[in-house]
Amino acid sequence: MTEPPRPPGAGDPGDRPDPTAPSGSSYEPPTAPLSGAPAAGGYPPPGGYPPPTGGQPPSGGYPPPGGYSAPGVGYPTAGGYGAPGGGYATNDDKTWSLIAHFGGPVGVIVGGSLLGWVAPLIALSAKGQQSPTVQAHATASLNFQITWAIASAIGFVLAIITCGILFFIPLLTALVPIIFGIIGGVKATEGVVYRYPMSYAFKK
């Protein structure tokens, strides 16, 4: 036998129409979004920023989360560290530093191996109290030149005592401050205080 038709509303509860649904449309229960899928309206903007009006992201996109500054702002770019002129605050500091280093070899060549300390001493006296940079360069050169001026004096004495047998010692003690003085000057052009070898710290 066939089942007689049921009156409206007396069927299975799952078949009952939703009274809140508009007439003429079928009602579908809401479904949860898939795991990881964005909800309606998309993800919220990073950093807790309120969404812009109109539902569109601002021009250029949202700022990065964490409050990081944009590139080029804040930390200096590569090569931006240090004072201008290769580590010197002014060109005057660089000039006096080069005089302190190159003046040593010039003094040895022009005035003899005992006068290499004159130029660094002048640089230290003229600018050393005003510029810590010049003071560091001049002090390093002065200590080295004084050390080898003393060595040259001892070499001359030995050459005289031995009647010229040790004549090469004064030549050697005159050549060393010339070579290393030039090296110190080259390093000074790069803004580096050269650490002279075989030098005694007469001046701190």
Average pLDDT value for residue range 14-42: 51
Q: What is the pLDDT of residue 18?
A: 54
- In this predicted model, which residue has the larger pLDDT, 75 or 55? 55
Mean confidence (pLDDT) of the chain? 75
- Across residues 187-196, what is the average pLDDT? 93
> Is residue 70's pLDDT more than 50?
no
* pTM attached to this predicted model: 0.57
pLDDT computed for residue 78 by the predictor? 35
pLDDT at 51: 55
Q: For residue 23, what pLDDT band results from cuts at 50, 70 and 90?
A: low
| Average pLDDT estimate for 5-12 | 56
Q: Which residue has the higher pLDDT, 8 or 124?
A: 124
Q: How far apart are CA 7 and CA 5, in angstroms?
A: 7
Give the per-residue pLDDT at 203: 82
Tell me the residue length of the chain. Answer: 204
Average pLDDT rounded to a whole number, residues 172-190: 94
Sorting pLDDT into bands at 50, 70 and 90, what band is 185?
A: very high
Tokens of 178: 């010339």
How far apart CA 204 and CA 191 sit, in angstroms, is 20
Q: In the chain, where does DSSP find H-type helix?
A: 84-87, 91-111, 118-127, 132-161, 168-189
Q: Taking a C-beta distance cutoff of 8 angstroms, is the pair 119, 142 a contact? A: no
Could you tell me the residue ranges of all domains in the chain?
87-189
Mean pLDDT across the stretch 68-78? 40
Q: pLDDT tens, 122-165?
A: 999 999 899 999 999 999 999 999 999 999 999 999 999 998 88
The highest-confidence range among 33-37, 49-53, 90-94, by mean pLDDT, is 90-94
